[in-house]
Amino acid sequence: MMTADAPSSRPSAAPDATWSSDQQWLSLSADGIQLQLDLADGLLKLAHFGRIAPINPAQHRLMSAAATPQASLDQLPPNTLFNDAGLGFAGYPALIGDREGRDWLTAMRLNDVSCSTDATGAHARLTLRDSLSELEVLLALTVTREGVLRQQTTLTNQSSAPYRLEWLAAACLPLPVRFEECLSFGGRWVQEFTETRHRLSEGTFTLENRRGRSSHQRVPTLITGTPGFSEQRGEVITAHLAWSGNHRALIERQFDGSTQLQMGALLLPGEQMLAAGDSVTTPEVVMAWSDTGINGASQRMHRTLRARLDWPVADKPRPVHVNTWEALYFDHDATRLQELVVAAGEVGAERFVLDDGWFVGRNGERAALGDWYLDAGKYPQGLGPLIESVQAHGMEFGLWVEPEMVNPDSELFRTHPDWILGLEGREQPLGRYQCVLDLTRREVCDYLFARLDALLSEYPIKYLKWDMNRDLTHAGGQSEEGRGKPVAHAQVSALYSLLARLRKAHPGVEIESCASGGARTDHGILRHTHRVWTSDCNDPHERTHIQRGASRVLPPELLGAHIGPQHAHTTSRRTTLAFRASTALFGHLGLELDVSQLDQAKRSELRGWIARYKALRGLLHNGVSWRLDCLDDNQHAHGVVSQDGQQALFSISQLAMPRHAVPAAQPLTGLQADTAYRLELLELPEHPERRMKQLPAWISRQQAGEPVVVSGEYLMREGLALPVLDPDQAILIHLQAVAA
């Protein structure tokens, strides 16, 4: 509801938007989370972001007005939702730009407020203006029905003179002084989502990405909170930029302790020029607050993203993939392909994805990218016979493409050398022997759409694995009107438009975002796709860390997680099928190995794991995800609990030698305290006497055929006694509520 009365303080799960013009107070709330803004004096001061709380505006203004120290401005500048320098703010401004050296200083003031509610959440639009610089800013705020704060910013040039924009924060959020730490996520190829913890002190902590995609190195996510925050403890805010290109994220603390978080798209010099009347809108920042550790914020992130996903078929179970890359690479031999199809169908795969190497001239990574025509030598009768065989063995067909790229050794490049991003007179380095096509040119997108549309129209292709295997370096246009100008930001927008155009033409096709693995995994690309390829690394030891990091902002059903071969191609580590499968189980399961080369015993074991996934995916892909704090740093524990708390699956992995000879008991979480659960150990590695003379009693009892029933309260308070595990082993525990 929307009212014009005094600010509401009543708890409410339904979206509520309240604007009191008399008290200059705005409140947005949903699902127990509330954002309250003090808009007096035309400023956007954050009064509260967290659980719904009764706040009297007059009392708040009296009690929150701070002292003014000596040797400072006579009145300290406020820390607001749009910090600029006009009041003397000396920190990083939310807006940086100029008109040929003028109008670089702004003092934005609130001009208009509107708010509303609908089924998606509580919304507010705050318009700010600066009459001297003739600029207008619109902040669009939403507290979603899942209790997540979404924000984006629009800047309008109201002057007759052009304005050169250098930086516009999509979100500028004041943080409490008690937030003294933050987690960032980076890494590299096959080691994505590596987390680093930072201590916040006076000054600016900044992460910038200039690679043209979300990148392995600078994931557009920050988690900040109280000292020592963990998965299950502490107050945190998780902030994620829904953008697949260059970005900047910063946390700045002033000398007086005031702290701000900013996120937005990073612009190259001269990339955004606003003519008279022009506007530009930032990507969206998604923010979740929790006082129960990172889990609480992640769960809200998962819910709000799930609510926005546009599936071709609603409620369709996530099918088991078999992808041909690590099985065949570029060797598209018809006999080998047929053997793989038959074996994949036998073990229960449901989607067969033909990877790189299917198009004309593509026998390696150095040539033919961009020539999206089927190789008649490899497929003399087209893809029809292969697809018919795939369907006959109970699977649907998917195809790998990399539309944004081109090899210099290709017919497309030889015909249109000016279609790539580049700068005249400057030689640019290749990445995987390829250049980047300029998607901002209409004729380039028309060509790509025509080729993909032709394939999707001719064949019953249900899935596209959309890859992107290099960073942008010389991101300049070569068209007549845009020659030499930077277009990295426009390139991302053009990609989104191309994906939207393709999905409109073929609404039944699912699309996966792959970028050398996990270099494009963000909420922005997931507005147009349905899954991300989390990493090119299928080694479960590394995948445990990678999937843990990705799960901070993405739910498991969107994370491609494949069972690879015993000998990992990317790390050379050897692991058991049980460890590989139990790790991949907590994602969107697939196979990235040559099933046809497995003996019957291994095929039978694999078939059993796939059957287990199918039985559990309703829980895994619709439940509430939990990551557990472990006393042993070499241990990793996580699980999923059904929405009604009646069922759960937990995994506990040992990644290196245990800290103690006897592992500490592991408390579980997310269960119903007053519910009794029957424990079933689904997976227990072999336990030779050298490691353990006796199993924990509850495991021995279950193995003897006796049921083990324990209260949720006990499992969350005291936990489970654990067996001693070797490195790279895991146990799986299934819990099912039983009648009292």
Tens of pLDDT, residue by residue over 249-273, are 999 999 999 999 999 999 999 999 9
pLDDT over 60 at 10, yes or no: no
**Which pLDDT belongs to residue 466?**
98
pLDDT over 90 at 482, yes or no: no
**Which pLDDT belongs to residue 51?**
97
What are the distances in angstroms from CA 475 to CA 210, 213, 430, 446, 472?
10, 12, 13, 20, 6
Cα gap 234→227, rounded to integer Å:
8
pLDDT over 80 at 177, yes or no: yes
What type of residue sits at position 45? K
For residue 287, the surrounding DSSP H or E stretch is: strand 284-290
pLDDT over 70 at 1, yes or no: no
- 16 three-class SS: strand
**Which pLDDT belongs to residue 68?**
87
For residue 487, the surrounding DSSP H or E stretch is: none
**Which pLDDT belongs to residue 688?**
65
Pick left, alpha or beta for residue 517 (phi over 0 → left; psi -120 to 50 → alpha; otherwise beta). left
**Which pLDDT belongs to residue 9?**
37
What is the per-residue pLDDT across 641-684, written as a single tens digit (0 to 9) for each? Answer: 999 999 999 999 999 999 999 999 999 999 999 999 999 999 99
What is the per-residue pLDDT across 276-326, written as a single tens digit (0 to 9) for each? Answer: 999 999 999 999 999 999 999 999 999 999 999 999 999 999 999 999 999
Q: Residue 5: which pLDDT band, with cuts at 50, 70 and 90?
A: very low
What are the distances in angstroms from CA 222 to CA 77, 198, 205?
26, 11, 11
Distance of CA 709 to the CA centre of its chain: 37
**Which pLDDT belongs to residue 281?**
98
What are the distances in angstroms from CA 291 to CA 50, 183, 288?
8, 16, 10
Over range 14-30, report the average pLDDT: 97
For residue 458, the surrounding DSSP H or E stretch is: helix 442-458
Residues with catalytic function: 467, 536
Share of the chain above pLDDT 70, in %: 98
**Which pLDDT belongs to residue 8?**
36
Which domains occur in the chain, in start order? 78-307 (2.70.98.60), 321-403+446-470+509-622 (3.20.20.70), 626-738 (2.60.40.1180)
Instruction: Return the ∠ at Cα 330 (arms to 325 and 335), rounded to 5°.
Output: 90
What is the per-residue pLDDT across 73-128, written as a single tens digit (0 to 9) for each? Answer: 888 899 999 999 998 999 999 999 999 999 999 999 999 999 999 999 999 999 99
pLDDT over 90 at 720, yes or no: yes
Orientation angle between helical segments 600-620 and 577-584, nearest 10 degrees: 20
Neighbouring-strand partners of residue 466: 401, 513
Cα gap 153→285, rounded to integer Å:
10
What type of residue sits at position 91? G
What is the per-residue pLDDT across 144-156, written as a single tens digit (0 to 9) for each? Answer: 999 999 999 999 9
**Which pLDDT belongs to residue 72?**
86
Among 526, 473, 475, 522, CA closest to 499: 526
In 324-414 the beta strands, taken as DSSP E runs, fall at: 351-354, 396-401, 405-406
pLDDT over 50 at 6, yes or no: no
**Tokens describing residue 418:** 């000016």
| Site of tokens 């690479």 | 329
**Which pLDDT belongs to residue 2?**
34
**Tokens describing residue 106:** 């702004």
Orientation angle between helical segments 577-584 and 540-550, nearest 10 degrees: 10
Mean pLDDT of the chain: 95
pTM beyond cutoff 0.85: yes
Q: What is the 3-state secondary structure (H, E, C) of 557-610?
A: HHEEEEECCCECCCCCCECCHHHHHHHHCCCEEEECCCHHHCCHHHHHHHHHHH
pLDDT over 90 at 12, yes or no: no
**Tokens describing residue 702:** 């279950």
